[in-house]
Amino acid sequence: MSIADITAGKSQVGSDGLRAQLDAMQAANQRDGAPDRARRLDWLGRIGAMVKQHQAAIIAAVDADFGGRSRQETLLAEIFTTLSSIRHAKGQLAKWMHPRRRAMDLSFLPARARLLPQPLGVVGVISPWNYPLFLALSPLVGAVAAGNRAMVKPSEFTPRTSALLAEMMAQYFAADEVAVVQGGREVGAAFANLPFDHLLYTGSTNVGRKVMAAAAANLTPVTLELGGKSPAIIGPEAAMDAAVTSIVRGKLFNAGQTCVAPDYVLVPKDQVGVFVEKALAVAAKFYPNVADNSDYSAIINQAQYDRLRAMVAEAEAQGAQALAAGSGGGRKMPLTMLLETKDSMAVRRQEIFGPLLPVIPYEDLGAAIAHVNGGDRPLALYVYDRNRGNVDRVLAETISGGAMVNDCLLHAGVENLPFGGVGASGMGQYHGRDGFETFSRLKPVMYQSRLNGIWLLHPPYGARAKAMIKLLLKR
């Protein structure tokens, strides 16, 4: 399938047919009931086969949408991560679907308690542009593993990838199993207003508020995967070379267009110069020629590029120093360190989502922790230190969606760890078993024993019942 074929294809579901599509899925769900394990494995297998068969087309579409996306980054962050999540779900599905025992209070014995995982029905997924395949399919893996049908609304800012996703899904799934909806803001708003059984949104905090408000009209439960300003803290006893290498690698992966990328770095006051010098050197080593380097990804579009340039210009106008690791070209922007920034600057107030890195000095570890706690709770927090006490203090005294010690980004790819934000960085979580549970209802069930003592509490409440109640109150 060529890029021309993809862009010429029509949307599987137009904006006028959104409610009709949902109705058809709900009717199919009522007709067929909860799918068994074999059918869920089949669905997961189809997603995996789809990605493998169309790998070359996926890479080409993402590259075209970005105007230059590193092939290796697409393989790692889109293809590998998606296939990894599918493999994990297939291997663990039997365990996830099994009823779970819950202990029964002594007062209710010999009754038993269980949690029965059941699919919710039809779920919606709204995915962003920065990882247009993985962030559409990773929630879908959890949704179908849990036995749901799903509608996916990918970003209009990656039209070729979105069109390809719609074409592929139509080949591998019936329209009442999984459907892809294409369109701009109007379609996105209409999608968020549908009465799904669950809605997962990945994107900006501002749009997340609107999605939540729309879902509230239908009492639709939501999972919001947002962003924010994820800090990296260089502790007083950090291994500086390893920390710098990790932060530069994480910051420049996908040119910083990653929700869990280090947004800014807190460095001991007397080590700022060392950090900056090493970071610029590492960036130049990784990407000696940014403009013509196929390993380095472009900023997604001109509007985003202009936004980043405006951030730098505003910071410099207010007295900040900008130090770039070489020069860029087109929409490829090199690592740009920003020193002497102020709280009033956009680079300090807004999520950057690009290769700009404010470096903020601190006097002691307590001051660094206070700086983090003074802002919204971040999606991720990174602490670099070889002293276990320092690490434990940072982890204990800060709150974030997730955290990683002595590295960055990688925790988001671990299927056995839940992924999600807290406060302004989101609510709810998914990945692995946690994704299965997000898209399931763990129905609590109590099984009464044929032999039980409830008859001792039947009215009329005579001496026997009063004695039993007195005994229960003593426990």
Catalytic member of 167, 225, 351, 437: 225
Q: What is the dihedral of CA 232, 413, 255, 7, to 10 degrees?
A: -150
Q: Please state, in angstroms and rounded to a whole number, the distance separating the CA atoms of residues 173 and 12.
A: 11
Q: Please state, in angstroms and rounded to a whole number, the distance separating the CA atoms of residues 347 and 350.
A: 6
Q: Please state, in angstroms and rounded to a whole number, the distance separating the CA atoms of residues 357 and 264.
A: 5
| Known catalytic membership, residue 259 | yes
Strands 100-102 and 112-119: antiparallel
Q: Is the dihedral of CA 196, 198, 204, 210 positive or negative?
A: positive
Token reading at 40: 């869920």
| Known catalytic membership, residue 351 | no
Q: Please state, in angstroms and rounded to a whole number, the distance separating the CA atoms of residues 90 and 194.
A: 30
Q: Please state, in angstroms and rounded to a whole number, the distance separating the CA atoms of residues 142 and 462.
A: 53
Q: Please state, in angstroms and rounded to a whole number, the distance separating the CA atoms of residues 122 and 29.
A: 8
Token reading at 105: 């209070």
Contact of 265 with 360, CB cutoff 8 Å: yes
Q: What is the dihedral of CA 369, 373, 375, 376, to 10 degrees?
A: 130
Instruction: Give the other-Cβ count within 10 Å of 137's Cβ.
Output: 26
Catalytic member of 259, 351, 408, 415: 259
In the chain, the N- to C-terminal Cα span, in Å, equals: 70
Enzyme catalytic residues: 225, 259
